Structure formats: C-alpha cells, structure tokens
Structure 1
Amino acid sequence: MRKPTLLTLLPAVAATLLLTGCYSREDIKSEGGTATTPAEVPPTEVPGAVASKNTAAPSEASNAPLAQVNVFLEVSGSMEGFMPKPGGGAENTRFQQHVAQFLSDVNRSTAVQQKQFFRIKEKPYRDSYQQLSGTVRGGIQEPAKSTDIPSVLDTLVSRYYQPGSVSVLISDFIYSPKNAGAIPYIKTDITDALNRAGRSDLAVSVYGFTSDFKGAFYPALKTAGAKRASCCDTDIPYYFWVLGPADAVRRFDAALLSKQSAEQAHFGVTYPVPASSLLSKFQNQGSWYYGDEGASKRAAGASYHTITVAEASAAQPVEFVLGLNLKALPALYQDVAYLKQNLQLIGQDTDAKITQVFAATEQTRASSGPESGYTHFVKVRLTRLGKAARPLQVVLNDRRPAWVNQWTTKNDSNPNQSGAKTFALSSLVDGVQAVTTGEQDAQPIFRIDLTLQPAR
C-alpha cells in the first residue's frame, strides 16, 4: 500500500485480513479516543418503507424527516488535488465550492433530524460541521494513509445502518490494487463487503461529478507509471455514494440531491407509482374514448386508464397520449433520452407501440386542460386490437445508465489523454448491483396498467 493512494483495495487473497486488520467495526473512534458510532442495529424493516418499485404513494410517515445522516469525506493523499491549500493567488476548485455548499445544505436541512460528519483517514474520525467544512475549504492538512474500499463500505452498512438514516461517502473512488491480478475480484470484494451485514433493503445511489484538480495525481496501478506531480489539464471525477435503507435513500435523494447537476445511478431504491392518465383531448387521433366506469362524468382531477376503441385499421389508426407526473422521481428517470430508451409497452392482441415520448412545455403547463398536471407524455399508436378487453402496460425498465461505462477506464496513467474517467468504476458498480438486485433481474421503476378494449 502507498500512502498517497486513495481507498486502496488489496488482492482478493488478502481481503479477509484487510477487513479485520485495517480497522474493525468497533475501532471507529475520534482522535481523542472516544467512540462515536451508534450501537449495532440488527437488520430491520424500515417503518413506512416502499416495498417495491410498483407501490402506491408513500405514507405520511415515510415523508417525515430522516432520523440521521452521516457524511464521510475521504482525505487521503489522492484527494489533495480537489482540496488544494489556499495561497499564492490560487483559486478554489469546483469540488471545494460544491462540497462546501452540500455540507452546509445538510447541516441546515430540516429534512434530517441529526447530522454527523466524519473524515475517513485510516479509519473514520468524527468532526463537527465546521471542522469538515474547514478541511474542504482549507485543504487536507495531514493526508491519510491508504484505506480499503471494502472495509469502508462494510463499516457503513454494519455500524451506521439504521431505519430512517443514510450515510454519504464523498470520494474519488479510485481503485488501487497492489497488482493487476486483483482486478478481476473488484466486483466480488465490493459485493462481499456490502452483503456481509445482511441488510435486506440496502439501497445505493451514486452521483458522479467532475472538478478541476490542482495537485499530484496517482494512477491506480503501480505499473501504470509514477505520479503526475502537477495535474491536470482535464477534469477529474469524484462521487457521492448514498447508502442506507431503500426508503431512506429515496427520501434523502429527493430532499438534498434532486437539484444536483450530476450523473446518476440508483440501485435498490424504490419509488411510488407516478400519477398518470389518458388524455382524450390532447394530440389524440382516431375513434376512441375513455372506457372507465363513470368516465362520462369527467370529474375534475379524475384519471383514466381504459381505452375503448370504436375502430382501428391501417387506414384509420388510433393515437392516444398518456400523461405521467414524474416529479417525485430522480432526474435520471425524468430524462427524456432515458425514457425513450427504456419505456416499454406490453400488450396482447394488438400492434400498439410507443411512437413519441416528450416532456411538458410552457404551453402544456399553462393549459386549462388536464395535461397541465403532467410532466411527461407518452404517445401510443395502434391499428389493430383484439375482440375482447386486454391489459396494456407502460413499463419503465431499470437499466444502468450509459455514463458508468463511459466514465470507466482500464488505464488512468494519463488523465489528460483518457479524459474524465475513473479506474474500474464499472466493476465497483457491478459489485453494488449484485447486492441490491440479488439473483433476480432489476425490477422496473414503475408499471402503469391500462386496459385496451373494443367498443361494444
């Protein structure tokens, strides 16, 4: 291990030793020697937790303030370039501006009852908000020795995992194995660390940012070359990982990270089914009408999910629009490009297909019609349907966003050539996904159930 290396992961053959030898679960103390971690909490179901990605709206209890947030800032030598010491007319970095503001937001937030702040050196040390913010602004005074990623993650899910609480780890997550032979075990080591405490409702949200970087850069692999003493002409990535029970992660994301300009990936987080309705007078075509019971009353604010088609053929196609209110979902799942790639229409005895996905405009928001209540719209076209009523589903599939692979490199020896990438990032994410998804494929973000039927 090298002192300036960030979050060093040793080969798999040494993983067991590191997880007990680097620091133990009981060895999380302040530098003055006072234990600061909460008592061990056995795995429990979170009261009011969203049980699946297709649940109804969250209960009032699930929207109450979170019990606690623990923020951990990694302060090893490879992080110094994000937090250079002031002097000589040097400007602060975007990392410093961003993280200082985030810490302030957490400290002031009424969405969280208790806040704790930590530096991660050889082990986590408890800081006050002012101390940790001072480190971000003034630079790392004593860079840490290397710290093992699996040990850190194991500690967070073992010692800080409680109902209604989350932990936020801020780091560049550079994986620095002792030799290339450890690379194939990155996923396994991350999976084992997150799985060891047996948290059945574990969720992880990953947020990716980039910043200018003013200091020494250390390649992940020793064989990649010596450190770059004055780096870099390109931005360097850093990350927020939010870990905790699924419902708590969802609530923290919504309260404190929903407006962050970041790349995102969410694993094991569950969301309520968004409000939706067919819109019979919005960009519709052909002969169809609402088939819902009582639809003729057209009550204000009513939603409709049955399409009754009088006639449909190649010569007389039917088009209808489904309005969706996705404002409660993370920005990733509101992104039109993501929706276009991952929305799926599932039906029987019909050729119905999605032809367009688009976001609300100033015109739709200002409309006096029901379309004003929706953030996104899905247009469907069909020319054929069966002789009886059939279910029709609009499903948003949960697929890993493309940026994870785009930000991954196998050789970070020259950031100025490779660009803003992180060594083995996709393998780290593989390890997270293996725990939060389990043996099953990822469940959809949501399903909207419709009914398609011919007119009688």
Structure 2
Amino acid sequence: MHLTSSFRLLPALALGLLLCGCYSRSDMKGETSAASSPAETPAATEATTETGPPLEPAAASSSPTTAGVLAQVNVFLEVSGSMEGFMPKTAANGSNTRFQQHVAQFLSAVNRSSAARKNYFRIKEKPYRDSYQQLSQTVRAGIQQPASSTNIPTVLDTLVGGYYAPNTVNVLISDFIYSPKNAGAIPYISTDVTDALNRTRRADLAVSVYGYTSDFRGTFYPALTTSVKKINGCCDTDIPYYFWVIGPADAVRRFDAALLEKQPAQQAHFGVKYPTPASSLLNRFQNVGSWYYGEKDASKRTAGASYHTVAVSSVSAREPVEFVVGLNLKTLPGLYRDLNYLKTNLKLQAQDTDAKISSVFAATDQTKNSSGAENQYTHFVKVRVTKLGKAARPLQLMLNDQQPAWISQWTTKNDSNINQAGAKTFALSSLVDGVAAVTSNEQDKAPVFAIPLTLQPAD
C-alpha cells in the first residue's frame, strides 16, 4: 500500500508489534533496494495535478441527488506480489479475471467523473504517481515489478495524514491480507488499525468498505506462514478484494452514491451520515382496526403530505390496531436497503404501549403501480398495537447501525488452506473492528436514521 506524502516511514508500532502488509512475505518476488526507475517517482508532498484548482467544498445537502462535485479523488492500487493473481499477465487466449474487468471499469468511471482532480497511485513501499493510462495498463496487463514490503497501519496513517482534505476521497484497492510477524501480534491488529487512523484525529473521518470476489490465477501467499508459505497455481476458490473509501463523511457519502452503489458488493459503512429518509403513515394500505391520522391538517389530504401521528379510537387484544409506515430508502446505501438487514436491525421504541414491529417488507410491482400513497415508498414497516396509554406517547422507529453479517462470514483465522476455506480474508473482522473504534462510539452509537411517531387516544 502507500506511505505518507512526506515519505515518513513510521517507527515500529508500540511494543514492536509491526503488522506487515500482504506483500511483505520474505519469499515473495520483491524489488531490489536500488533507487526507483525514472518511471517510479514517489508522490511528492505537493503533488502536481492534471486539472485546475479544486472546487470549493460542496455544502452538505439534505438530498444526495443534489450533491456538489468533489474537489479531488485519489485512487491507490496495491501492486504487491500477492495481488498478481488478480492481475495476471494477459493469457494467450486473451482471458482476464473479474478483478481486471471490474477495476478497469472503475478507473474509467473515475476518470470520466466530474471530480475536479483525479490522481492515481501504485502502492509499493511508498506511493508512486501514475497517470490514468498507466494504472489502467497495470490492471489489464499485470504487475511488472511487485512490491517487497510495507505496513498496513502505516498506509492508513498516510492516507488520513497526507491525503485527507475537505471534499476529497481516497480509494484504496487491495486484498487487505494481514501478515503479522508473529502470532503474538494478532490480538493487536484492531488496536494498530485504530491507532493509525486516529493519529491525526480527523473529527469527520468516514470509511466505506466494499467487498468483492474474483477468480485468482497465480501464487497465493497466506498471512500465516507457519505451515504453508505459498500456494502455487492457486486458486480453486474465489479470493476477496476490497475498495476502502476514506475521507470526510459527506464526501464519502456522495462518492459512494455516485460511483459504487451501481454495482453489487458487500458493504460496511463507518462514520458516514445519511439524511433521514422520507416516510409516512399509510392509512389506506393494509391498516387494521379503528385509527386515523392525528395531524390537524390531515383531513385536507394534501398531495405528497406525510403523517406521523396515529390517533386510536379503540384497541384491545381482540381488536388490535395495525398501521404501516412507508419508507423511501432510495438515498441510502444498498446495505441499509437490504431486507434481511432491515428485518434484523429496525427497532421500535415505545412508552405505555405494547406497540411492536410485526413485519418489514419491500415494495412490489403492485405497490409501485398503485394509485395510493404507497407508490412513493421502497419499504414498509407494519406495527401492531393491542394496548394504549391514556395520553399521547412518542414512538421512534430506528434503524440500528450494526456490523453486517458478511464481515464475520468472510473472516478466517487461518488462510493457509484457502482452497478449502473459500472466499475469506485473514483477520478481516479485526481490521474492521479497528475502523469502527475510530468512527463511532459503541456505547452511544447513533442509528442510521430515526423517525419520530406519535401514538395517542382519539379525541
């Protein structure tokens, strides 16, 4: 991966726990210690750019669809020996890997984007500036000179210390395989990642992680070399790789929406803040029992109006009330639109009532084509009530921000048998835990969104 823009190699991490990147295995093809060739000039502290000055940072918008243009996008591609299997040299039949197809298309999309500046880097023992054409050619034709070694915490420290700026995102493309020098360092992976990201104390730091898998043709270097140092002719299984988008929260949100939400991927988001989605009670859609909108102007039924107060005429265990809340989640990332995630993490807070969520479901062709208000919403939450207090009480529908299940599913403690283990990454959950510790307070973690409702007896 890469080093700070001033090329400061960090000293060994606390207590000598130096976690080397996946390209630091001593048995891997590496570079000599000779000076870089003229084509491999380390990125300067004040890097020159191919376009004009950056735009002023766009003001935070209540709607991502009206987001301003980013000032700068920096793309960093790891070119270690362990990445060669993703980017093998072109075969005689012209075949390539899904990684090559995907990353080449992504680079093209960045290059065509409206960001004021686009910078491209190969990450070896430090970042090397490339043009779009050079980096795209590396992806297509394969790595010519794989890196020898670097340090993942150092890379992250560099990214937030040397390339972090308002209205700017840094995209890191890597397999993110840790290779600790000894087993005693493994418990400290998350701590070292946290320390690296926190060193410059960026108050608005956000990280989006996108996980993909690709066929892999070459030598696989396990993180733990106690039993197997390398696996030649690998792999029978797909191998994961990742895009990490790092920068100020609003810039990360807008970049994600513009360039990464259009392609399927596993996702995790840390420190990114999203506008509260549009929502409303729907009194003519699957409602049960005696209730109506409690807002004073509800009888006018203004087109496009939204309602959040349930006025209950009568309710009991035998005659329950059920109402549906419509949610328009189209401005949220795919993770937070996933029905399984919603069913697990949508919660209802209530007082003096037994109101609870009875079902969560997505829009169908029928709801989309309906003439009713339900056609405005992508998802629906049905709430059931059999008990009501004597006065108006608040309800709150919240989507909790929890680590998605795929993180643990893609994590392995031993990748020396990768063909049998399947598409997994060594210590992935520890790495992600390190990010989460910087970007959120687990004891007071804000929900993705919270929608206030009111439940009251009818007048």
Structures share fold, TM-score greater than 0.5 = yes
Alpha-carbon spacing, 1:12–1:18, altered in 2? closer, same or farther (3 Å): farther
Q: Residue 318 of structure 1 corresponds to which residue in structure 2?
A: 321
Alpha-carbon spacing, 1:371–1:235, altered in 2? closer, same or farther (3 Å): same
Q: Residue 64 of structure 1 corresponds to which residue in structure 2?
A: 68
Deviation at 1:453, TM superposition (A): 0.3
Q: Residue 42 of structure 1 corresponds to which residue in structure 2?
A: none
Deviates most, 165-174 or 101-110 = 101-110
Q: Which amino acid aligns with 1:106?
A: V
Residue 101 (structure 1) aligned to one of 98, 105, 120: 105
Deviation at 1:409, TM superposition (A): 0.5
Deviation at 1:442, TM superposition (A): 2.2
Between the aligned partners of 2:295 and 2:144, the Cα distance in structure 1 is 66
Q: Residue 6 of structure 1 corresponds to which residue in structure 2?
A: none
Between the aligned partners of 1:95 and 1:259, the Cα distance in structure 2 is 16
Alpha-carbon spacing, 1:38–1:436, altered in 2? closer, same or farther (3 Å): farther
Residue 305 (structure 1) aligned to one of 295, 298, 308: 308
The count of corresponding residues between Structure 1 and Structure 2 is 428
Between the aligned partners of 1:171 and 1:198, the Cα distance in structure 2 is 24
Q: Residue 432 of structure 1 corresponds to which residue in structure 2?
A: 435
| Structure 2: gaps (5+ residues) | 1-10, 25-35, 49-56
Q: How does 1:48-447 map to 2 (within 5 A)?
A: 48-49=59-60, 57-58=62-63, 63-89=67-93, 91-110=95-114, 112-438=115-441, 440-447=443-450
Runs of 4+ aligned structure 1 residues displaced above 4 Å come to: 9-12, 15-19, 36-39
Q: Which amino acid aligns with 1:48?
A: A
TM-score (norm 1): 0.90
Deviation at 1:63, TM superposition (A): 1.1
Between the aligned partners of 1:37 and 1:48, the Cα distance in structure 2 is 26
Deviates most, 300-309 or 30-39 = 30-39
Q: What secondary structure is seen at the aligned counterpart in 1 of 2:324?
A: strand
Between the aligned partners of 2:301 and 2:336, the Cα distance in structure 1 is 30
Alpha-carbon spacing, 1:208–1:33, altered in 2? closer, same or farther (3 Å): closer
* Residues 1:35 and 2:37 aligned together: no
Between the aligned partners of 2:19 and 2:143, the Cα distance in structure 1 is 29
Q: What secondary structure is seen at the aligned counterpart in 1 of 2:129?
A: strand
Deviation at 1:32, TM superposition (A): 3.6
Q: What secondary structure is seen at the aligned counterpart in 1 of 2:380?
A: strand
CA deviations on 1:355-414 (whole Å, 9 max, x unpaired) are 111111111111111111101000011111101000011000000001101100010001
Q: Is the 8 A contact 1:117 1:126 kept in 2?
A: yes
* Residues 1:13 and 2:15 aligned together: yes
Between the aligned partners of 1:36 and 1:383, the Cα distance in structure 2 is 65
Deviation at 1:440, TM superposition (A): 3.7
Measured on the aligned residues, the alpha-carbon RMSD in Å equals 2.4
CA deviations on 1:135-189 (whole Å, 9 max, x unpaired) are 0000000001122101111111011111111000000000001111110110111
| Structure 1: gaps (5+ residues) | 1-8, 40-45, 51-56
Q: Is the 8 A contact 2:273 2:448 kept in 1?
A: yes
TM-score (norm 2): 0.89
Between the aligned partners of 1:99 and 1:17, the Cα distance in structure 2 is 27
Between the aligned partners of 2:172 and 2:335, the Cα distance in structure 1 is 20
Q: What secondary structure is seen at the aligned counterpart in 2 of 1:222?
A: coil
CA deviations on 1:404-451 (whole Å, 9 max, x unpaired) are 011000100011111100000001001100000146432100000000
Q: Which amino acid aligns with 1:238?
A: Y
